[in-house]
Structure 1
Amino acid sequence: ELRTPLNAIIGFSEIIGAEMFGPAGNPRYASYGRDIATSGRHLLMLINDILDLSKAESGRMSVDLAEVSPARLAETCLRMIETQAQENGVRLVVEVPEDLPQLRTDERRLVQVLINLLSNAVKFTPRDGTVSLRASVAGDRLILVVEDTGIGMSPEEIDVALSVFGQIESAMHRHHHGTGLGLPLAARLVDLLGGRFDLTSTRGVGTRAVVVLPLDGSTPASVRDLEMTGAS
């Protein structure tokens, strides 16, 4: 009921903005159409995050496990984030070896996790900074690390960022709008996938997010109780 009318708004405003059926008359009408489409896509993204978080917290979100190549997963995420990185003047570094073993997980949910983490990293990394995605294997676990050279957070700000609808008050954060759901949703999706999520950050240095997942898609205690110190 939320997505269907919004998709119609986005679709028709894109037609108006592109003047697909002829000139709109006054050029401002086409410009307004493009503005409506941009705002509609942003609103749809927020609605999707809210609905996904609601389903995850109510235990109604299911996972569809399948064999996934970590290298292919990284390639998919890179394609989806590289335009944003280019626009922000941020360098992307991907270190995911081709020979890593297959991971049994829900690919769509894991992509959602990584895109949230990468998008946040790019968003809060100043121009000429670096955002990296690395992957490695430790025993029966896959370790994914998203790290940036961005503005970073204090321990108190990390608590806020991981809370639902948490908004950090700083000059750079005020330039970017959102619901504050990206990190909480990523943490809940990782938990849903049977993994562990850890976030560390230093003001003025950068932020490091670590996702640890069981390669076989199970949820053994060893993964739940994994000590994150030293994961890389």
Structure 2
Amino acid sequence: MKPILIVDDEAPIRALIRLTLERAGYTCDEAATGTEAADKIEANTYDLALLDIMLPGPDGYELLDYLRSVQTPVIFLTAKTAVADRVRGLHLGADDYITKPFEPTELVARVEAVLRRCGKAQGTLAAFDVVLDPAARRVTRGSTPLHLTPREFDLLEVLLRNRGIVLYREVLYERVWGLDAEYDSRTLDLHIQRLRKKLGWKNEIRTVFRVGYVLERGE
């Protein structure tokens, strides 16, 4: 995969985005101004750009036009109250938007969704001795295929894409069962138990008391 370009004039926000995406297995590049971003877009190819709208130099709207010409998908980063900015960005061709402040899990989910729609999703995901192929919806342990239910597969994919990040139970449930599903902690816990058994992961998926679960990073 090619890198994801993060364009924001606030260094702490760029650092948070970069840390979150790199933990999920992506590589990143950064720019603090519109001019710096334009130079990097001209010199490099990116799978996705995360653009703040208000930037020194060319703003996010101008960069959007440039990125569309090279067929790079764009997610806008906007202030929570800037509804007009979000609407304008979508009308101009942005693929999605994320409001500040944002949850790391939401950021990863939206990035994954846009990359899938654009045919630029990551290849295989791996942890310990397990490999998951999202496109083929296949999981192997060593050289042995594992038979997971659709929910178990989706749950494992979320854990792999957020490896090392503690995920709240409610977030996991929403990501796997959907926004409209009524939250059921017992159902989630049961699926985690079954997943541990099928994968042979007794300690790799760790329970975080009163919070949720985390897939350990290992060595």
TM bucket, shorter chain: under 0.3
TM-score by length of 1: 0.23
